[in-house]
Amino acid sequence: MLEPVRAEGSAAIWWERETFLSSESDDNRCPAVIDVTGQARYLTYGPFIELRPGFWRARVLLEVCIDAARRRLAVQFGVEPAYTTVELPYGVPGRHEIVVEHRLAEAGPVQIRLYLQRAAFHGEVRFLGAYLERLGDPAE
């Protein structure tokens, strides 16, 4: 298991892969390896844990094979219907740390979503989890 890092004197929250959901498995849990073959869709999402208002940073850890790296993938962070989206670097395989910052105006069930933006023929992604850090109050 990865250890939480410290940010400005406070520990980051670690959400493991098993915390997330996915329609890619029979039990709706995020599998260790996600096959991206198929239509555009959310590959993993959740965990619908309520966070208090404020400015938050999510550092999402994942690995993509060379074939998946040639697909349009993005990470979204927020509460329905407002999300901040960051695209993965196109054509770059290997381990990635995608940083997404989002301001929550009010408490709500947060999601981090890995989004396949266009249909894909082949490729695999390993979604490892995410660190969450509260950076400040909503008005800051």
Is the pLDDT reported for residue 28 higher than 80? Answer: yes
Helix (H) or strand (E) holding 54: strand 54-64
Instruction: Kindly report the length of the chain.
Output: 140
Is the pLDDT reported for residue 4 higher than 50? Answer: no
Q: How confident is the model at residue 140 (pLDDT cuts 50, 70, 90)?
A: low
Distances from the Cα of 57 to the Cα of 54, 82, 119, angstroms = 10, 15, 29
Architecture of the domain defined by 20-136: Sandwich (2.60)
String of DSSP letters for 55-114: EEEEEEEEEE-HHHHTS-EEEEEEETTEEEEEEPPTT--EEEEEEEEEEESS-EEEEEEE
Is the pLDDT reported for residue 102 higher than 50? Answer: yes
Q: How confident is the model at residue 138 (pLDDT cuts 50, 70, 90)?
A: confident
Q: How far apart are CA 107 and CA 113, in angstroms?
A: 18
Tell me the whole-structure pTM to 2 decimals. 0.88
- What pLDDT is attached to residue 5? 38
Count of CB atoms within 10 A of residue 31's CB?
19
Residue range 42-92, pLDDT digits in tens: 999 999 999 999 999 999 999 999 999 999 999 999 999 999 999 999 999
- Asked if residue 81 has a cis previous peptide bond (ω within 30° of 0), the answer is yes
- Tell me which residue of 75, 87, 86 sits closest to 45, measured CA to CA: 75
* Domain edges within the chain: 20-136
Is the pLDDT reported for residue 15 higher than 70? Answer: yes
Is the pLDDT reported for residue 137 higher than 90? Answer: no
What totals of helices (H) and strands (E) does the chain contain, helices first? 1, 12
Residue range 103-120, pLDDT digits in tens: 999 999 999 999 999 999
- What pLDDT is attached to residue 12? 87
Mean pLDDT for all residues in the chain: 91
Q: In the structure encoding, which two tokens stand for residue 71, read together?
A: 């697909």
